[in-house]
Amino acid sequence: MTTDAQYIRRCFDLALLGAGHVSPNPMVGAVLVHKGRIIGEGWHQRYGAAHAEVNCVRSVVPDDRPLIPYSTLYCSLEPCFHFGKTPPCVDLILEQKIPRVVVANEDPNPQVAGQSIVKMRTAGVEVVTGVLANEGQWLNRAFFTWLELQRPYIILKWAQTRDGFLGRRGERTPISGPAAQRLLHRWRSEADAIWVGTTTALTDNPRLDTRLVGGKNPLRVTFDRAGKIPAGFHLLDDSIATWIFGKYREGHFSKTSFFPAEDDAATLVPQVLEKLRAANHAIVLVEGGAQVLSQLLEQGYWDEIRVIESERALGDGIAAPKVPEVAQLREQFALGSDMIRVYARSYTLIRKDLSDDHD
């Protein structure tokens, strides 16, 4: 691996520290290097707060400040060009007289879109782009999808037995082990919203929280057309922001909102996604059950699939959905007695879908 790639990889590691806190912004890391020594590091820590480049420059100790005009700045994403919640990072780079900048990915945000790269080059900065670009795409797949498709990034998750069942009909069936359960709570903490169908809400009485890992609780989303969720169920406990599409309920709710639901699943799914988009919820984790998962799969509303497969066999029950053929296996590992498999639509497939839509 080249030296540039090694520092970009460090940027990715830093960027990941922002997971769960920056959406719908990208995760971004930045590193300043002078003659083989890291003199500054930073990452985008929170939505609306300082960008990675700013935190990186701020982290340089006074003794090293004079070295900044002789250093290389590594950024996992093209520095921003626009006045957003913070001033443009590209201007900071020019003010600091940084002579060389290495970037993994261009920022597809139309307010940036390569303009910072041009501005820096015009000002005489040496700019290298595309270093570990594929890894950068994967890291920020939710952000790129959000911008390209103008809808939340949709992660379907299910746990199945080794013989392909989600559980027994009508009863909560534990499938995954404790380690996978913790991982699931981390996945939740990295999402903006968690979505389950009515049957799951009724049979599992899920909390949909992140109690095993701490951290923020995403918005909970479910359907309840007939108002069947019992009043004492966790989803109606008003402890976490919750959206219920279906029957309105009287009660002292402050974090729970009720919305009328479209009759037909084909229009209900886009309705939910549009409401999530409008509220800036860019990453949604769909935890089942079978009906919602197959609805989304059929309608093509998915970007990633995470399957937890246990060693157990059930012999009978609710069949797990099939992973579509276009899904590529991207990660696979054992966790306790479970196997975790992460599949994704490749970025090029997403782009293809987009152009198909416009034809």
89 binds ligand AOF (CB under 6 A): yes
In this structure, how many other beta carbons lie within 10 angstroms of the beta carbon of residue 359? 4
Nearest to 22 by CA among 43, 1, 2: 43
The number of residues that bind ligand AOF (CB under 6 A) is: 17
Cβ proximity to Zn ion: between 136 and 206 the closer is 136
Member of 46, 85, 169, 322 binding ligand AOF (CB under 6 A): 85
CB of 86 to ligand AOF, least distance (A): 4
C-beta of residue 284 within 8 angstroms of C-beta of residue 276: yes
Residue 34, C-beta contacts closer than 8 angstroms, at least 6 positions apart: 64, 67, 68, 70, 71, 72
Rounded-to-integer distance, Cα 218 and Cα 241, Å: 8
Rounded-to-integer distance, Cα 340 and Cα 310, Å: 9
84 binds ligand AOF (CB under 6 A): yes
79 binds ligand AOF (CB under 6 A): yes
92 binds Zn ion (CB under 5 A): no
Sole window of 78-86, 96-104, 231-239, 346-354 interacting with ligand AOF (rule: CB under 6 A): 78-86
306 binds Zn ion (CB under 5 A): no
Cβ proximity to ligand AOF: between 77 and 236 the closer is 77
Member of 109, 115, 140, 200 binding ligand AOF (CB under 6 A): 109
Sole window of 14-22, 46-54, 321-329, 340-348 interacting with Zn ion (rule: CB under 5 A): 46-54
Sole window of 35-43, 73-81, 109-117, 277-285 interacting with Zn ion (rule: CB under 5 A): 73-81
80 binds Zn ion (CB under 5 A): yes
| 53 is known as an active-site residue | yes
Sole window of 72-80, 95-103, 283-291, 295-303 interacting with ligand AOF (rule: CB under 6 A): 72-80
Interface map 1-40 toward ligand AOF (x if CB under 6 A)? ------------------------xx-x------------
Q: In angstroms, what is the C-alpha Rg of the chain?
A: 22
Hey, what amino acid is at 215? G
52 binds ligand AOF (CB under 6 A): yes
CB of 44 to ligand AOF, least distance (A): 3
Sole window of 48-56, 129-137, 179-187, 337-345 interacting with ligand AOF (rule: CB under 6 A): 48-56
Exactly one of 53, 106, 304, 309 is catalytic; name it.
53
CB of 79 to ligand AOF, least distance (A): 4
CB of 30 to Zn ion, least distance (A): 9
CB of 47 to ligand AOF, least distance (A): 7
217 binds ligand AOF (CB under 6 A): no
Task: Provide the binding-site residues for ligand AOF, judged by CB under 6 A.
Answer: 25-26, 28, 44, 51-53, 77, 79-80, 84-86, 89, 107, 109, 112
Interacting residues toward Zn ion by CB under 5 A: 51, 80, 89
Catalytic residue IDs: 53
